[in-house]
Structure 1
């Protein structure tokens, strides 16, 4: 009867030893990796100007921005300036609902709480704004292809 208890004790001791060995090996591997990394690391103050220049790039996409960027949709040219004017043409409360929803990624419920108005009002302001924006853009967009 004393034998099974002894076996359990031996199993527990063997497992304990295995866990300690595994942790010790992980610690040694971590120390080795840190030592290797320290040998290869260079501080920014030790870099030459040529090496510093290799660490970054400059986006040249808008560098040559003589012409205003635009896109053509359904034969109409829409510019950033025209889109901004269209948004400014909206009443303040409708513009605020559209900007919070699309540019700040807020839900109608979150906007309603922020503005202390019902959710249905937020939805109405947002959806009715599209008709106003559509009408403004149709009237003011530059036609590429007059259909």
Structure 2
């Protein structure tokens, strides 16, 4: 009787192993189908071109009060009213140095070349301009309080 019970137990184990293998094979097939579907219909964002990326969203810009400054043929737009107000208090040379430096990302040497000045003069104009702007912006902020 022990032999029969051992054989029944072996049969049940083989049946269970067979069922597990069948389930795993089925899962592999489902996974491979899913991955094939994803590969066919999905693309990583990093693989999209600029044109394709731009179609995925809309950037809505509201009409904001902007201030425009003309500097050496460049049209520079300043969106922050407080900064624009502080820039308007500067002399034209100092304003031009700040705008070219911070809004056009030009180096001191490039600005000096464009304005026919010495590089150290540009550095000094920028330093003094920032001090004046800071002072004007602080005064403006204190007045609003």
Larger radius of gyration: 2
Relative contact order higher in (CA < 8 Å, ≥ 6 apart)? 1
